[in-house]
Structure 1
Amino acid sequence: MIIYHGSVEQVCNPEIREPNHRLDYGVGFYATTSYEQAKRWVQRKMREGKISKGYVNIYEFNEQVMEMLKTISFPTPSEEWVDFVMQNRTEPKFTHDYDIVYGPVANDHVYTAFALYEGHVLSKQALIAELKTYKLVDQYLFHTEQSLNSITFIEAKEIIL
């Protein structure tokens, strides 16, 4: 399977990096099956950093490895997914022991809905119902060095603003 990672640099050798803020699935290397999602992400980073070019890095993912590693998958928004995302975003000491996490990506619309949930404006059930009306793209988190062995760099496509 082909997966994509948007970055302001070519990432030939993915690695686990500590982010500067809490992310949906925790610490690790994030990728998606959506080229357009990866491109939008890098374009936003380019605008924020006033950088003129970035890259959509393309990888081959040996998804059979998911059967051998500890994984969790959230094919659609669910109560378990909401709880997992909220733990990763809001509990500073929270960590998990999954090698790979798969599920919906929290884009700008999803962030807004989550903010309403965090502010107790939406219930968990209302949040899930709201999210199911969106066309959500996916994301993979490679959380361990062992999981990174399942992806192989193919090429980096240059993106220019």
Structure 2
Amino acid sequence: MIVFHGSTEIIRQPLANAGRRNLDFGTGFYVTDLRDQAVFWANRPVNNNRPHWLNVYELDMDGILNSGYHYLRFSSYDFEWLEFVVANRRGEERWQTYDLIEGGIANDRVFNTIELYAAGLTPREDALEKLRYEKPNNQLCLLRQELIDRYLHFIAAEEVTSSVAVKGKEKK
């Protein structure tokens, strides 16, 4: 499976423990199979005045699934996804028992719902009703360095601006 990571750096050898804490699926290396989502991430306003890179990888999902790694997949924005994301953002580290987690990203469209629910200002039923109409983007969080080293292979990096990629440019 081809996956992408939007960044201000070319990342040939990703690290599982280099990410921020208390994210949706824990501290790991995040990729997506949605190219536009990674390009958007690389071009976030916080990255202005820096290069924007789309890192492209091959992820051997068959190898991962056949090797006994603990894989958790959320197919929708449902109660289990909501509780898992909120718990991790609170620092509960439910992600610790998994090696790879896949599911929707808590992007701008769903962030407010999550924050209101986490603060106890929106009942669970209301939060789930709002999330029900959202089509999830997709993110995969690789949580173990061993998994990254064995099953995620760097292919290329493309410099990107907005939704247009400039192929073949790579810093040495």
SS at match of 2:43: helix
Looking at structure 1, the residues matched to 112 and 88 of structure 2 have their Cα atoms a distance apart, in angstroms, of: 17
| Residue 121 of structure 1, CA deviation | 3.0
Looking at structure 1, the residues matched to 93 and 65 of structure 2 have their Cα atoms a distance apart, in angstroms, of: 26
Letter in 1 for 2:57: Y
Residues 32 and 88 (structure 1 numbering): CA distance in 2 closer, same or farther, change over 3 Å?
A: same
| Residue 84 of structure 1, CA deviation | 1.1
Contact 2:3-2:34 at 8 Å conserved across structures:
yes
Asked if 1:154 is matched to 2:152, the reply is: no
- Which of 57, 60, 63 in structure 1 is aligned with 2:58? 60
| Residue 122 of structure 1, CA deviation | 2.1
Tell me whether 73-82 or 23-32 shows the greater mean CA deviation. Answer: 73-82
| Residue 90 of structure 1, CA deviation | 0.6
Letter in 2 for 1:99: D
Render the CA deviation track for 1:80-115: whole Å, top value 9, x for unaligned: 211111111013565512000011011111111111
> What stretches of structure 1 of length at least 5 have no aligned partner?
none
SS at match of 2:97: coil
SS at match of 2:10: coil
SS at match of 1:11: coil
Residues 98 and 20 (structure 1 numbering): CA distance in 2 closer, same or farther, change over 3 Å?
A: closer
Residues 49 and 43 (structure 1 numbering): CA distance in 2 closer, same or farther, change over 3 Å?
A: closer
> What stretches of structure 2 of length at least 5 have no aligned partner?
163-172
Looking at structure 2, the residues matched to 51 and 147 of structure 1 have their Cα atoms a distance apart, in angstroms, of: 33
Match of 2:142 in 1: 142
Contact 2:78-2:131 at 8 Å conserved across structures:
no
Match of 1:84 in 2: 84
| Residue 78 of structure 1, CA deviation | 1.9
SS at match of 2:153: strand
SS at match of 1:83: helix
Looking at structure 2, the residues matched to 123 and 67 of structure 1 have their Cα atoms a distance apart, in angstroms, of: 40
Match of 1:37 in 2: 37
Match of 1:51 in 2: 49
% same residue: 28
SS at match of 2:65: helix
- TM-score between the two structures when normalised by the length of structure 2: 0.84
Looking at structure 1, the residues matched to 43 and 93 of structure 2 have their Cα atoms a distance apart, in angstroms, of: 31
Looking at structure 2, the residues matched to 94 and 150 of structure 1 have their Cα atoms a distance apart, in angstroms, of: 23
Count of aligned pairs = 159
Tell me whether 94-103 or 29-38 shows the greater mean CA deviation. Answer: 94-103
| Residue 26 of structure 1, CA deviation | 0.5
SS at match of 2:84: helix
- TM-score between the two structures when normalised by the length of structure 1: 0.89
Asked if 1:101 is matched to 2:116, the reply is: no
Residues 93 and 103 (structure 1 numbering): CA distance in 2 closer, same or farther, change over 3 Å?
A: closer
